[in-house]
Structure 1
């Protein structure tokens, strides 16, 4: 079985995925890191050089590959991955995958992402917290349709990585 973690950027997919993989003795794969390795460029550089459409095509291509080749793996998706190119359907149709939406409130996302925005291509240009809040609110509205198609929804607000990992284990086992 593979466990797919999805949700908006900053919700904790990578941290929780690593913790969960360690606790369940599973492999861990971050789709963004995988994509960067395959493309031999950072996501930021891919966006700069080739744009978002190219990035989304490659992201979908690598998701298919990872879903077909991975066994007993926790897979953290990029925040937009489920929302493009029929990717959520690929995940839902894969009988060897359990999908989990790590749901984080707007205010918590704004607080987490404001301090690290320069490392994230989609929000690097936003310099004011109210503008970031508007940006994330719009994205959450657009993306929640896809995120909520996950088999399970786990709230991350005011919880530690370990608490969330335990909650996921309880849901799955």
Structure 2
């Protein structure tokens, strides 16, 4: 079974994914890392040099590859991945795949992201917590219809990684 973790940036997909994979004795795959390896540059560099349209195009291509090439993995996606092209349909129709939305509030996301925004191309330009809150709120509004298509929704607010992993286990098994 593949477990695909979906959620906004800062929702814990990578941290939770690594822990979940270790417990399940599964492999862990981060789509952004796959893209960086195949493109020989960072996500930030891809955005800067080629733009978001190029990035979203290759992101879709590599998503399909990852879904086809993995059978017992925990796969963490970028926050926007399910919202472009027919990516959510690809995730939904992939055999043996369970999608999980790691849901977090605007305030939780903002608290997690503000100090690391320099490493996040979509929010690096935002100077205040208020601007970040507004940006996240707008994005969550736009993306929630995609995120909510997941088979399982787990709220991550005020929960440790271990608590979220336990919640996932209770939903899966």
TM range (shorter): over 0.9
1:75-111 Cα distance to aligned partner (Å, 9 max, x none)? 0000000000110000111121000000001110011
Name the counterpart of 1:161.
161
Name the counterpart of 1:130.
130
Name the counterpart of 1:55.
55
Count of residues in Structure 1 that have an aligned counterpart in Structure 2: 173
CA distance in 2, matches of 1:136, 1:16: 21
User: What secondary structure sits across from 1:4 in the alignment?
Assistant: strand
Q: How does 1:5-154 map to 2 (within 5 A)?
A: 5-154=5-154
CA distance in 1, matches of 2:97, 2:74: 10
CA distance in 2, matches of 1:157, 1:35: 29
CA distance in 2, matches of 1:170, 1:68: 27
Task: Compute the TM-score of the two structures, normalised by the length of structure 1.
Answer: 0.99
Q: CA RMSD in A?
A: 0.5
Name the counterpart of 2:3.
3
Extract unaligned runs of 5+ from structure 1: none
User: What secondary structure sits across from 1:135 in the alignment?
Assistant: helix
CA distance in 2, matches of 1:115, 1:48: 21
1:12-67 Cα distance to aligned partner (Å, 9 max, x none)? 00000000000111000000011000000000000000000000000000000000
CA distance in 2, matches of 1:77, 1:113: 17
User: What secondary structure sits across from 2:130 in the alignment?
Assistant: helix
User: What secondary structure sits across from 1:85 in the alignment?
Assistant: coil
1:90-147 Cα distance to aligned partner (Å, 9 max, x none)? 0111121000000001110011111110100000000111011100000000000000
CA distance in 1, matches of 2:108, 2:8: 11
Extract unaligned runs of 5+ from structure 2: none
- Structure 1 runs of 4+ with >3 Å offset: none
Task: Compute the TM-score of the two structures, normalised by the length of structure 2.
Answer: 0.99
Segment drifting more, 55-64 vs 91-100: 91-100
